[in-house]
Amino acid sequence: SARRAVARSWRASPANVTGPDSCKALGCAGYVPGASCQCTAKCAELQNCCRDYAERCIPMKTHAGTVGLSVNTDWVLVRFWALALLCFGLGVFVVSLSFNLSGTHRVLKQVFRCLDAVSVDDEPQEGHDGQGGPDSHASDCDGDKLPEDGLSQQDFKTVYEWWGMHFKDPVLENKWSARTAHARISDGAVACVAAISMVGVVVYAVAQTRCVHFSSRITTWVNLFIAMVLLGASVTCVYFPSERLFWPTVLGFFLYFPAQCLPPFGMSCEELRNLCSGSQDPWMVQQYHHVDCSMQGQTCVQLLMTWILITPWVMPRVEHMHGIWAWILCVFVGWTMSYRRVLGETVYDVEETVYRVVLLSGVLLIACHTKYMLERGHRTKFKHDVQQAESTKRMFAILEFMVPPHVIPPMLTNAEDPIAESINHVSILFLVIDDFDRHTRERTPTQLLLFLNEQFTSFDKICVENGVTKIETVGEEYVACVGVLPDDVRLCEERGHDPLLDRLFTAARQLLELQGENVKYKMGLHTGPIVAGVIGTKLPRYRLFGDTINSAGRMMQKGLPGQVQFGEATYADMGPEWKRLVSYRGEVEMKGKGFVKAYTFAPKSGNDGGRQRRGGGRMQVSFRGTITAHLYTDGSIAQASVLKVPVKKECAFSAGEVEQDEHRDSADRDFTMRFEDTLQSMREKSGRHWWLLRETEGFTTDMEREWQQWQHDSALTYKAQRRFALMALLVMGISAIELHFVVKIQVWRYPHPLYKSRWRWAVYIFSRMLVVLLQMLWWHAMSTMECIRTSPKKTQAVLMLTICTSVMLLYIGYDAILFSDTSAYRNYVRFTNNFRSPEDQFLSLNFVLLYYISMRTHNLTFYQSFCFVPLTVLIVALPQIYSWSHPESDKWETAFSDKAVFLLLSQTLINAAISHEDENKSRARFKAQRAVKITSTRTKDILDKLMPPLVVEELRNIRPGAALPSHQYRHATIAQSDLCGFTKLASTKKPTEVVTFMGELFGAFDVLTDKWQVCKVETIGDAYIAGMAEKPLTRTNSPIAVVQFGLDMVRAVDVWARHLGVDVACRVGVHYGECIGGIVGNAMQRYHLFGNLLVVMDTLEATSVEGRVQVSTACKEEVERQLRDDPGASAERIIFVTRAGDELKTSKGEVHTFEEVGGTTYLIDSD
């Protein structure tokens, strides 16, 4: 009864049961102070065998544990490693077999889909969408060719299965695998390099340990050699990705990491106890106290946990992660069983082994989810990259119609920056169809456009064959030149301008040979300096500015039909063979030039220099970088850019594959090569690259703000409620298991250096409740507080504070229930000589897991994740700091061994590196997504402005090969503006300044076209043409709107000139009448207007007064008619002032009669 009473009091308050008498009361006989006592049978019946070490009686572990056999004999190691390698080989075989079966399954699935695709049965089959045809699975047998122009959102859809994920379109999946294979291998190799650094401390500890025999030191150098081999192979894969080297390296890592914990690379428990028990080495003292040996030891399990958490960045695909299950089973479990069987070691019992297997399995589940999210992000990035490539290629195809190829890269990379260059030697050729009014009268609008299309197509071919760059077409005029392209500039610098003129005169001769009895050309040519640049952002046009282009136009106007007329500047650069073929015409009066000397060239009769060219067929303009057109003669730029090219998908297993059009394939290949060359030049010209957050390069302040909000919405707050709820449930679940352990062990019996021992359980429960409370507060706030989504910076700062607080609370909670670091427990181990794993060792492993989950639950930025590094240092240094500050108090020691502390710090650093790469990828995805959006918007904007929207809609509905549409407008009002004094201003400015000025002015005019709903027709030099007519040119037709548009252009130029302090003014001419609209030519296709209306409009503009708008009588009458019908049609009162005088005179002195413009003209005033 006395013993039972003492036992009851011990259970109620074990602190009161102290001293030898208490132990004797429990039936412990043979007590010796300072030594162990033996329990009698009666004591064993009442209570577990007890040990007294002069402080208190505590329960002893039921099993003492066995360290096993000595590993000094080679035969023991041979037996173990034979079984270990057999287990590892079995795991590799199982994984290989599973992947082969999975690959076979996918191949069979593809074959069956191909059989379905060639089936003659029209009924929907399995794998079809049931809507009249097969879905995207029909493209499975297309080979490696991806139908870029035919991709839909369904093709980009990712299918998620238990084994992995893949794109719905197998062709796209194959392309993703091929394009990203090297990048994935390189990233995996980088992760391997980071992982190999973790074992450095293990190798170093073994090498520096003084209690290890000489053979172990030799093994350490062998271990180091293996590590260096793996490191070298990993670094090689980083710079030279290869699957043949990568997979053996990865297998080596899966073999190398667990081998670190076992002899001969690591110490066995027998070595640790018998050889190192009295060691003074700090590494060994920590390792001995924590019984850190074999694969169950703290260091080994933590090392394997960290390696598993790194594997998402090592494995190329998510399905590869499933092979780690076989590794845990065959290596961790198999090696543990083999080790116990061969050496007989039972330091860790079966229950502890099972818990560690469960722990590693939980870590692997987290790693699989992490890899799932990573691959989904990679696929999203790839999808955006493909979409960006499509949009960029689409933009590239459009720009090839509009500008020379050498200005496309800067347009795609720096769309807002002016693109301009000054070229000293350029020869410009103007060609006009003589007596075009007669052709207009003799032909219907459709016939007229067919006639122009035939003429301009022939001109395009001749220019291409001779390396002449087409600049633009204006009505019946055709403008081309040599000397503006980089190759031409280099050739001119090396050999002079003569070779360029040789090409231009050869083209001019061939053009003249196209003339017939009814068709004659007048051609003018001039040589000199020019300023070339791209004008406009919505509708970019490559334009030439300067006196040279004006002089070439004057030479054409004063030229003779069937001849090329040019001046002294061109004659001086000609070669002697061409000079013999020209004639001196004499002095000819030019507008604004006075009398100039002129020369003419006409091909001699019988000259066979011209080559017969076949009509029709397919055309691809490409000569040494000249303007190119990736089109067919039965299409147009609008069709190529707006419509999706239908791609015929066939399944063919051998020679029965459907043959594609060779010409089209050749054009596609050439176009793709040009596009890839352009992208390569853009990459080469990209700016510097930083090793730290390299993707921040090119981020403006606005982009940074947009990315932060995008990252906040798409990653941080997206499904955040679920993450907080899961974290709370996980903490509560683990806490419930740990509370059972706390009660079972009665941890409140062990003293704590900071507070009383009975407070241990209270501190633990309170800290865990606070962690759960913080998670639930965030869970509630995510659904109720809108400021969380609208204030990214503040929200992320508070979130980081919450995570750091939660980590500290977790550490405080674990410190409250960890007792193996106390002097009481260590004295117990020393006096009892009980070499067993500490019962609370699994708690420190739980902390490592929860710490990692806390760091990775939310997608934090690199700098935020780096904050965990000083937090980790603080956690592991707290006991030492306390000991330094309180030397008189009991020593507060950490529950981690020194190697475990290093691994925890390494894990935190690796997490920061992972966050660094995640942020880089996030920024890259953002830039790609933003580029897709901007490029698509810009493409759509160009298409909308390239041609009238209603014309584009009409083009969408015409059949391939059908004639391009033409329109006759009977009620068109067209305005043309010119900048007075701009040529003089341009002569004093740099090329970039000239182009910037033009961009500013034309940009202001573009805004006015949107304001008045006027259609922009063309820009010619510094002239701007726009107007309205019936559909399809514009949706509404208002002559008043065109007149007010002209008044606003004059005002806009006045404001611009006053702001810059320059003497520039605008004059505008407006005419009303009939004209014809349509598309002509193959290169530089645009919607043109033709007819006498444009000739009269040009005369009205040339003879107008600076700063005024001049209209014809027809325009005045139409405006007055509209005002009578709708008095509120005008936003301001329009006053017509009759133009005085008997004639009209241009600023250059050229005289025109009123009859040329249809009668009296009027200047517009308004109030």
* DSSP letter for each residue of 153-202: HHHHPEEE-SS-EEESSHHHHHHHHHHHHHHHHHHHHHHHHHHHTTTHHH
What pLDDT is stored for residue 891 in this prediction?
66
Highest mean pLDDT among 131-135, 317-321, 641-645: 317-321
Question: Tokens standing for 398?
Answer: 């459009």
Question: Rounded CA gap, 118 and 616, in Å?
Answer: 35
Question: Rounded CA gap, 402 and 804, in Å?
Answer: 57
- Cβ(345)–Cβ(269) under 8 Å? yes
CA angle 268, 273, 279 (to 5 degrees): 110
Question: Rounded CA gap, 90 and 333, in Å?
Answer: 13
For every residue of 350-363, DSSP letters joined together read HHHHHHHHHHHHHH
End-to-end CA distance of the chain: 119
Round the average pLDDT of the chain to a whole number and report it.
Answer: 77
- Cβ(303)–Cβ(198) under 8 Å? yes
Q: In this structure, what is the dihedral angle of CA atoms 757, 762, 764, 769, given to the nearest 10 degrees? A: -170
pLDDT of 707 strictly over 80 = yes
What pLDDT is stored for residue 868 in this prediction?
93
Q: pLDDT-based confidence at 905, cuts 50/70/90?
A: confident
Lowest mean pLDDT of 481-495, 576-590, 943-957, 1043-1057, name the range: 943-957
Nearest partner of 207 among 192, 220, 193, judged by Cα: 220
Q: pLDDT-based confidence at 158, cuts 50/70/90?
A: low
- Amino acid at site 929: Q
What pLDDT is stored for residue 150 in this prediction?
44
Question: Rounded CA gap, 300 and 973, in Å?
Answer: 85
pLDDT of 843 strictly over 90 = no
- Give the 3-state secondary structure of residue 424: strand
Is pLDDT larger for residue 681 or for residue 1054? 1054
Lowest mean pLDDT of 318-322, 397-401, 575-579, name the range: 397-401
Lowest mean pLDDT of 76-85, 955-964, 1000-1009, name the range: 955-964
Question: Rounded CA gap, 46 and 26, in Å?
Answer: 8
For every residue of 717-730, DSSP letters joined together read STTHHHHHHHHHHH
Q: pLDDT-based confidence at 135, cuts 50/70/90?
A: very low
Structure confidence by residue, pLDDT tens digits, 476-534: 889 999 999 989 999 999 999 999 999 999 999 999 999 988 899 999 999 999 888 88
What pLDDT is stored for residue 567 in this prediction?
93
- Radius of gyration, CA atoms only, the chain: 42
How far is C-alpha 906 from the chain's CA centre? Answer: 30
pLDDT of 929 strictly over 80 = no
Q: How far is CA 467 from CA 480, 482, 507, 933, in A?
A: 10, 8, 9, 36
How far is C-alpha 794 from the chain's CA centre? Answer: 27
How far is C-alpha 372 from the chain's CA centre? Answer: 19
- Cβ(584)–Cβ(599) under 8 Å? yes
Q: How far is CA 875 from CA 283, 742, 887, 901, in A?
A: 19, 22, 19, 10
Structure confidence by residue, pLDDT tens digits, 373-410: 888 878 887 887 787 777 777 767 767 766 787 887 77
Q: Would residue 586 be called left, alpha or beta, if left means φ above 0 and alpha means ψ between -120 and 50 degrees?
A: left
What pLDDT is stored for residue 679 in this prediction?
60
Question: Rounded CA gap, 1005 and 998, in Å?
Answer: 10
Q: Against a cut of 0.75, is the pTM above it?
A: no
What pLDDT is stored for residue 404 in this prediction?
80
pLDDT of 131 strictly over 50 = no
How far is C-alpha 246 from the chain's CA centre? Answer: 26
Instruction: Tell me whether strands 563-566 and 594-601 are parallel, antiparallel or unpaired.
Output: antiparallel
Nearest partner of 541 among 983, 1026, 1020, judged by Cα: 1020
CB atoms within 10 A of CB 390: 16
Structure confidence by residue, pLDDT tens digits, 254-272: 999 998 888 887 777 777 7
CB atoms within 10 A of CB 604: 8
Q: How many residues does the chain have?
A: 1167
Question: Rounded CA gap, 883 and 26, in Å?
Answer: 37
What pLDDT is stored for residue 438 in this prediction?
85
Q: pLDDT-based confidence at 605, cuts 50/70/90?
A: low
Nearest partner of 62 among 40, 77, 42, 47, judged by Cα: 47
Q: In this structure, what is the dihedral angle of CA atoms 802, 806, 808, 813, given to the nearest 10 degrees? A: 160
Instruction: Give the residue ranges of DSSP H helices in 71-169.
Output: 74-117, 153-156
Question: Rounded CA gap, 551 and 573, in Å?
Answer: 16
Instruction: Give the residue ranges of DSSP H helices in 1078-1148.
Output: 1092-1102, 1113-1125
Q: How far is CA 65 from CA 68, 269, 340, 347, 877, in A?
A: 9, 11, 12, 5, 32
Question: Tokens standing for 499?
Answer: 């070779």
DSSP 134: B
For every residue of 20-41, DSSP letters joined together read HHHHHHTTEES--TTS--EE-H
Mean pLDDT over residues 935-941, rounded? 67
Mean pLDDT over residues 1062-1087, rounded? 84
- Cβ(896)–Cβ(845) under 8 Å? no
- φ and ψ at 1026, to 5 degrees? -155, 160
Handedness of CA 1049, 1054, 1057, 1063 (dihedral sign): positive
- Give the 3-state secondary structure of residue 1092: helix
- Amino acid at site 856: R
Q: How far is CA 659 from CA 616, 664, 671, 755, 866, in A?
A: 22, 11, 20, 84, 57
Question: Rounded CA gap, 350 and 355, in Å?
Answer: 9
- Amino acid at site 323: G
- Cβ(974)–Cβ(1071) under 8 Å? yes
What pLDDT is stored for residue 232 in this prediction?
93
Question: What b/e readout covers 812-839, taking b as 16+ CB neighbours within 10 angstroms?
Answer: bbbbbbbbbbbebbeebbebbebbbbbb
Question: Rounded CA gap, 165 and 719, in Å?
Answer: 21
Question: Rounded CA gap, 413 and 202, in Å?
Answer: 50
Nearest partner of 549 among 1083, 1020, 1081, judged by Cα: 1020
Question: Rounded CA gap, 1079 and 1001, in Å?
Answer: 27
Give strand ranges (E) for 536-674.
541-545, 563-566, 582-590, 594-601, 618-620, 630-632
Helix 949-957, helix 898-946: angle, nearest 10: 90
- Amino acid at site 805: T
Q: pLDDT-based confidence at 69, cuts 50/70/90?
A: low
Percentage of residues of the chain with pLDDT beyond 70: 72
Structure confidence by residue, pLDDT tens digits, 645-685: 333 333 333 444 444 445 556 666 666 676 666 665 555 55
Residue whose token pair is 């176009």: 671
Mean pLDDT over residues 228-241, rounded? 92
pLDDT of 320 strictly over 80 = yes
What pLDDT is stored for residue 840 in this prediction?
81
DSSP 512: H
Nearest partner of 405 among 623, 628, 620, judged by Cα: 628
Question: Rounded CA gap, 331 and 571, in Å?
Answer: 87
DSSP 54: S
